[in-house]
Structure 1
Amino acid sequence: MQPQKNLPESDLPPLASIKIGIAVDLSDESAFAVKWAVHHYLRPGDAVILVHVRPTSVLYGADWGSVDLSIVETDEESQKKLEDDFDTFTVSKASDLSQPLVEAQIPFKIHIVKDHDMKERLCLEVERLGLSAVIMGSRGFGARKRGSDEPLGSVSDYCVRHCVCPVVVVRYPDEKDGAGGAAEPAVSLVSAAKDEEAEAEYDDATNDRGG
């Protein structure tokens, strides 16, 4: 039986006591994080929620790098059509990202919300959904320039410091990692900071998730 993409939380399998979130922003980095989670982290019985914060206006899309849009001022009707088209694109793209979960027959739902502040809203949704852990790419979200030596993008860094649950950050392989980016990704398991001033602690999470 194929898993349902928009499975209500109440309909998730009763044995799925652990809810794992995968934060996605429709980028290649997010697609890689989903694949990594399927092959290295998720276990039988886990319930998965793909969490996407869609900007309140498509004008914000360029800020986090998922879609390259050239937008000019339009009348209200044209703007509404643009927003509707972007909503359709968002749902379609999120469904594409979920294919590794479909193929692995892992139950999941897609949770999409709108907000102008992606960082704060993502942390709020993680808490509201009662997630046990959240997995995300390191640079897909409002990423610093590719090739930078900085390990995290602004959203990833914020979530590491403010999410109430552990955050697993998966770095998308760069060209410098090897031909075609085939090198093993650098993965860090980061415990949620108890204090905003606390330094994030990184544990070795390059191996599969333990039992």
Structure 2
Amino acid sequence: MGGIYIQASSIQTYITDQIAQTQFNLSLSLSLSLSLSLSLSLSLKSTYPKTCPTMQPQKTLPESDLPSLAAIKIKSSSPRFPNPSATETPTAGAQRRIGIAVDLSDESAFAVKWAVNQYLRPGDAVILIHVRPTSVLYGADWGSVDLSIVDTDDEESKLKLEDDFDTFTTTKSAALAQPLVDAHIPFKIHIVKDHDMKERLCLEVERLGLSAVIMGSRGFGATKRGSDGRLGSVSDYCVRHCVCPVVVVRYPDEKDAVEPIVSVANADVDEDEGEFHDASDEKKC
């Protein structure tokens, strides 16, 4: 019996030692795990500076069928032009945009003066419209440009004539605008080239969004009004086809009265029943 008791006691001691050894191994493993975690944490802190912001997961935007828009850059207004009147387009903020069709003749100059004295009012802006022919050989009034010495077969001569006429057109247009300068009326000069003056003039009137257009009649090939009340070809065409009211000022002849004959027609006048009404006695708008 004593031998058996000693053997059971040894077994109990062995089991107790094994349990203690197992607990020690678990404690050691836990300590190693904690040490490894601490080392890894210190390593990450040394790799990324403290100022590095926390990275946020990028949000995924919902897909759209619409095309992506290009970036738009907005430029600030130039300090050289603090107000609209000093820019290249002084007519932008005007109450009315009045066009004056000019063909560089004395009659056109008279129409500009008449508009300044009788038609234009404060707040208006003027656009001088000149339709230059594609070939200067088919123009109407070239003033100081001498066409008699032009050799139509010489390309160099024709190019020189074109350059001379461009210079003449610019100078003459500036001279026509002098009454507007003296009256401090904002204006700009609009010159285009086309072989058909009548049609292009009406197109430019519509494109520029004019409130009305003024033109001299005799300067545009107009003859004195007949019994049917018609004017010349260009002015008559503009009255029939322009989208805005047309004021036609006929340059007075020596046998006419001192006051010019002024005709006004609306854009929607009927071609068969259209009449021109004298406006020479009407007051300034």
- Specify if TM > 0.5: yes
Q: Taking structure 1 as reference, are residues 7 and 34 closer, same or farther at Cα in structure 2, changes over 3 Å only?
A: farther
Match of 1:41 in 2: 119
1:192 corresponds, among 246, 251, 267, to 267
Q: Taking structure 1 as reference, are residues 69 and 141 closer, same or farther at Cα in structure 2, changes over 3 Å only?
A: farther
Match of 1:3 in 2: none
Match of 2:189 in 1: 110
User: Does 2:140 match 1:56?
Assistant: no
Match of 1:205 in 2: 279
RMSD value, Cα: 2.1
Aligned-partner residue type, residue 189 of structure 1: V
Q: Taking structure 1 as reference, are residues 177 and 66 closer, same or farther at Cα in structure 2, changes over 3 Å only?
A: farther
User: Which has the larger Rg?
Assistant: 2
1-structure distance, mates of 2:206, 2:196: 16
Aligned counterparts, 1:36-185, within 5 A: 36-61=114-139, 64-67=140-143, 69-70=147-148, 71-144=150-223, 148-150=224-226, 152-178=231-257, 183-185=258-260
Q: Taking structure 1 as reference, are residues 193 and 72 closer, same or farther at Cα in structure 2, changes over 3 Å only?
A: farther
Q: Which has the higher contact order (CA 8 A, sep 6+)?
A: 1
Aligned-partner residue type, residue 259 of structure 2: E
Deviation of the 1:60 alpha carbon: 1.2
Deviations 1:94-129 (A, max 9, x none): 110000000001000000000000000000000000
Aligned-partner residue type, residue 17 of structure 1: Q
SS at match of 2:237: helix
2-structure distance, mates of 1:155, 1:122: 9
1-structure distance, mates of 2:147, 2:218: 19
TM-score (norm 2): 0.63
Residues 66 and 140 of structure 1 are in contact (CA less than 8 Å); yes or no, is this contact kept in structure 2? no
Q: Taking structure 1 as reference, are residues 117 and 107 closer, same or farther at Cα in structure 2, changes over 3 Å only?
A: same
2-structure distance, mates of 1:141, 1:130: 22
SS at match of 1:176: coil
2-structure distance, mates of 1:56, 1:161: 24
1-structure distance, mates of 2:241, 2:189: 22
- Identity, % of aligned positions: 72
Deviation of the 1:72 alpha carbon: 3.4
Decide which structure has greater helix share: 2
Q: Taking structure 1 as reference, are residues 57 and 7 closer, same or farther at Cα in structure 2, changes over 3 Å only?
A: farther
TM-score (norm 1): 0.84
Deviations 1:143-165 (A, max 9, x none): 44xxx554522111110111000
Number of positions where the alignment pairs a residue of Structure 1 with one of Structure 2 = 193
